[in-house]
Structure 1
Amino acid sequence: MVARPPRLGLVLGDQLSFDLASLAALDPTRDAILMAEVEGEARYVPHHPLKIILIFSAMRHFAKALRERGWQVHYVELNAAGNSGSIAGELRRWQQALGATHIHLTECGEWRLEQALRDAQLPLVWHRDTRFLCSREAFARWAQGRKQLRMEHFYRGMRKRCGLLLEADGSPAGGAWNFDGDNRKPLPRQLRGPFAAQFEPDAITTAVVALVRQRFSDHYGAVDGFNYPVTHEQAHQLWQHFLDFGLAAFGDYQDAMAEGEPYLFHARISAALNIGLLDVRCLCDDVDKAWREGRVPLNAAEGFIRQLIGWREYVHGIYWLRMPEYAGLNHLGNQRALPEFYWTGATRMRCMAQTIGQTLRLGYAHHIQRLMVTGNFALLAGIVPDAICEWYLAVYMDAFDWVELPNTLGMVMHADGGYLGSKPYCASGRYIQRMSDHCKACSYKVDHVIEEDACPFNALYWHFLIRHRAQLSANPRLAMVYRNLDGMPLGHREAVWQRGQSLLARLDAGEVV
């Protein structure tokens, strides 16, 4: 019998799961796996050094684990001789070297990379990314014929399909599908989150840190202090730490912000989940079980599960339904460049300085810091969507295009005209004051609007609503806001507009705000 030529399987840096459909299609006794660290993927945006460390270290650990399971793994390190610098180049090189007739791979997480591979004229066999509970095709079927796509409707269907937080008759636990109204409490003055679980770098991670320090010192963000999980075992330890110490209070305080508390009651698992070290169904089952056993309240369990099978699966579906044209949308016609302080944190606005400083230091910020601080300012200031999207993709450890782009372009910037979310998430400084302790030590006064020392968010909020009135005033969720605007004395409204104009002019001039 003539031996069958080997097949080659590709595992990308955000696909570090033993349950990949492409792995299941291969035979570890005859086929080979390719994993490659390439310059093109590390530099197409200036990724945070901690993000590069995370992915390269987790890849090396995963390759080691695959070998221990009997797989033949060809692993190309970044500094290896002959490294072509691209995934397509490495596939072509290793296909020829091994004489592989077919290359098996799982759907990519980014349209850019998947399109490059589809255009590479290689013998590719594609497999569905079964790590998502809703496939691209299933989401497209759900979306077909709907006048509006709303996450809440999608989420309810996913809850029913997955059997999560349901009563015996199939109705939602607690009599409601969504307890978001219970999940917006400001943090009590003395309450602080649990100690964050941390992981000491081993020899593999230490070598990657040295590599990143050598090759990516020009990227914004810290190199030192890496303490994230890089193996499945460590990721599950981080998850268990959250179940034991964070989840019970997550519901109440998931929107809260506090100085010196970057994590509070958040799980900090999104990076591990997005690269394959955790399984979304297992996480949801654990949360459902914790609620049924009375270890966590329903609003915490529901709020967390909604983040996973609601928003996470929803934005994944939106991304693949609308790409590539979705990336170019700019419904509000924004033209302003991203201010330099997004890369440095050098701003007098305390909330912005704290959030950006934390981001550059840790590669992390939770969803409200992203949405209602850095994102809110970009929305109010009219930043070009592409610029702020690139920033989010670069600086956060958990950012991959499928999750970052819809959240930033759609939810943060409203650049899709309301396709993803029903209204712009805009707010004045009062929201930040209510949900954080930043305003107490700020150079600006949150209770001022038009004065020179007034919080910039205040005038920019009204300026945004005035300049986009034609596009937004018909939105029923903004009706009360526009009534408040119309009730302002004309002279005050003009002063607010002029204060906004002055702030935007300072941004355009590159001045510190």
Structure 2
Amino acid sequence: MKLRLVLADQLNKSITSLRDLEVHDVILMAEVRSEATYVKHHKKKIAFLFSAMRHFAQDLISEGANVEYVFYDTPDNSGSLFGEVQRVVESHKIDKVVVTSPGEHRLLSEMQGWSKQLDIPVEILNDDRFLSSVNEFADWAKGRKQLRMEFFYREMRRKYSVLMEPEGPTGGEWNYDAKNRKPPKEGLTIPPPFCAEPDIVTRDVMALVDREFADHFGDLEPFHYGVTRGDALAALDMFIETRLACFGDYQDAMIQGEAWMYHSHIALYLNCGLLEPLECVQKAEAAYRQGDVPLNSAEGFIRQIIGWREFVRGIYWLKMPSYKDSNYLEAHRALPEFYWTAETNMNCLRQSILETKQNAYAHHIQRLMVLGNFALLAGLRPDQVNEWYLLVYADAYEWVELPNVSGMVLFADGGLLASKPYAASGSYIKKMSNYCDNCAYKVAAKNGSKACPFNYLYWDFVDRNSEKLRGNPRMGFVFGTLDRMSQDKRLAIKDDTSRFFSALKSGDTV
């Protein structure tokens, strides 16, 4: 008899651990403290996963599967995955454990020792929900001086014949990102997001989270995320029908009070298994082929899934475990308290943190160019920044979070993932949002107590990291500008930066 373990991010009936299922096999699913609290995950994230797990288990049971489901408050819950596996192995006379490889290195390392501890075989199967296997990516990366997503993405397009014509890529170009950077404008009509009414299962989970995880970050209510395969498909279809057409143009735009913009909000469903990447890609391509959405929107969305998502996973497994310790720019400042409270005078940060707290979601430009940009410019510790991103977002698992934060946000890997640091002054935020209209600081002011901190922090970042960044071919113009600055200007930057960091260290509201 086999024990088939299904993890919280493997809610898919075609997962390798459930193939060749025999009637007497036991499927184990467990809500355990060790996984819910190894970082103090957002309340909505825990509620989403626990409810999705319970609904998935109900589906399996309705089809006749033998499911052993361990609720968080089950009296004899051991609190760990291994403890629950061991209990079922001993109580059911299991002779083999089967599990699909987990998405986090720490858990895989733990599982690799289970066979010895249990004294029975533990088979860890490949997770083939992804479009590129770990080995396939490693083969692609072998011998390359630089690993760039664009070239990997082209290979994936060819492999799956996505947006391809006999003569080459549809439209003649591989990438339409240059068309996807429009700032927000007056009169945009943002469609409402997909909302699912919590059923009794979800309500029970919410009560559990409210009781057991009261000290965790985030707002539990209102809760409107879907928790079933049907919900996830409805969310995908709603995006394709109502948002995808404008997604390309405005994917980088930010508007105060509009948390959702034209984004898909499906990453949490993709990353837990309720959606599959290829079905999302194919629906977007079909919408383009049918004339419902422009090419730049379809291609931009497809690139996020078939390109970026697969690329960061490949980087993660290629470079772990040492990747987690990367700190190329030697950043050592502690994460400010306002990342938890949103108590800051910088309106762009306040809005992005408040929306993260409310929704366990922020779109990629908020994550990269507001929250991440400040972390980069301020030299925040990579371990603390990574922990924050991992716990606050419902779609975050280490395989996707760590490369995005250490590589893309913080340049902590020294350029393995990104070709340059994604650093920007307040002018970028002004261009791509209306946040500056309601800010205590003046984005047009470059220096002084009322100047936007992003302005002088940007140049301080460039200056203090000159030794490591000056040779970057994409930063030649930036260093040329720095070198032409007057001594008085550079001293003003240093004075403003020193004042800002002193206030931050003292606990003042900045």
TM class, shorter-length: over 0.9
Structure 1 position 286 matched with structure 2 position 283: yes
Match of 2:186 among 189, 199, 209: 189
Match of 1:453 among 438, 450, 459: 450
Q: CA deviation at 1:290?
A: 0.9
Q: CA deviation at 1:82?
A: 1.2
SS of 2:445's partner is coil
Q: CA deviation at 1:167?
A: 1.1
- What letter matches 1:125 in structure 2? E
- What letter matches 1:265 in structure 2? Y
Q: CA deviation at 1:187?
A: 1.2
Q: CA deviation at 1:26?
A: 2.3
Match of 2:411 among 409, 414, 420: 414
Structure 1 position 267 matched with structure 2 position 261: no
| Residue in structure 2 matched with residue 156 of structure 1 by the alignment | 154
Q: CA deviation at 1:25?
A: 3.2
2:506 & 2:122 partners in 1: Cα distance?
Answer: 50
- What letter matches 1:23 in structure 2? L
1:501 & 1:468 partners in 2: Cα distance?
Answer: 16
Q: Could you report, residue by residue, the CA deviation over 1:187-237 in whole angstroms, capped at 9, with x for unpaired residues? A: 111213101110000000000000000000001111111100100000000
Q: CA deviation at 1:508?
A: 2.2
Match of 1:442 among 435, 439, 444: 439
Structure 1 position 476 matched with structure 2 position 473: yes
Match of 1:93 among 76, 87, 90: 87
Q: 1:88-487 to 2 correspondence within 5 Å? A: 88-120=82-114, 121=116, 122=118, 123-169=121-167, 171-487=168-484
Q: CA deviation at 1:505?
A: 2.1
Q: CA deviation at 1:496?
A: 1.2
Q: CA deviation at 1:119?
A: 2.1
SS of 2:350's partner is helix
1:508 & 1:190 partners in 2: Cα distance?
Answer: 41
Identity in percent: 50
1:288 & 1:224 partners in 2: Cα distance?
Answer: 35
Structure 1 position 56 matched with structure 2 position 54: no
- What letter matches 1:167 in structure 2? E
2:319 & 2:438 partners in 1: Cα distance?
Answer: 43
Structure 1 position 25 matched with structure 2 position 23: no
Q: Could you report, residue by residue, the CA deviation over 1:332-384 in whole angstroms, capped at 9, with x for unpaired residues? A: 00110000000010000000000000100110000000000000000000000
2:463 & 2:498 partners in 1: Cα distance?
Answer: 12
Q: CA deviation at 1:168?
A: 2.5
More off after superposition, 32-41 vs 87-96 = 87-96
Which 5+ residue runs of structure 1 have no aligned equivalent? 1-5
Which 5+ residue runs of structure 2 have no aligned equivalent? none
Structure 1 position 75 matched with structure 2 position 73: no
Answer whether contact 1:460 1:500 (CA < 8 A) is retained.
Answer: yes
SS of 2:234's partner is helix
2:372 & 2:186 partners in 1: Cα distance?
Answer: 26
Match of 1:46 among 40, 44, 51: 40
Answer whether contact 1:192 1:261 (CA < 8 A) is retained.
Answer: no
TM-score (norm 2): 0.98
Q: Could you report, residue by residue, the CA deviation over 1:68-118 in whole angstroms, capped at 9, with x for unpaired residues? A: 122100000000021111111111111111111111110101111111111
Q: Could you report, residue by residue, the CA deviation over 1:145-190 in whole angstroms, capped at 9, with x for unpaired residues? A: 1111111110000000010001133x01111101110000011112
TM-score (norm 1): 0.98
Runs of 4+ that moved beyond 4 A: none
The count of residues paired between Structure 1 and Structure 2 equals 506
SS of 2:67's partner is strand
Q: Could you report, residue by residue, the CA deviation over 1:282-311 in whole angstroms, capped at 9, with x for unpaired residues? A: 111111111111111110011001100111
1:312 & 1:461 partners in 2: Cα distance?
Answer: 28
Q: Could you report, residue by residue, the CA deviation over 1:470-499 in whole angstroms, capped at 9, with x for unpaired residues? A: 000111111111111122222112211221
2:484 & 2:20 partners in 1: Cα distance?
Answer: 65
Answer whether contact 1:192 1:264 (CA < 8 A) is retained.
Answer: no
SS of 1:133's partner is coil
Q: CA deviation at 1:510?
A: 2.2
1:12 & 1:83 partners in 2: Cα distance?
Answer: 16
2:53 & 2:194 partners in 1: Cα distance?
Answer: 21
SS of 2:165's partner is coil
Answer whether contact 1:336 1:508 (CA < 8 A) is retained.
Answer: no
- What letter matches 2:58 in structure 1? K
SS of 1:22's partner is helix
1:322 & 1:288 partners in 2: Cα distance?
Answer: 32
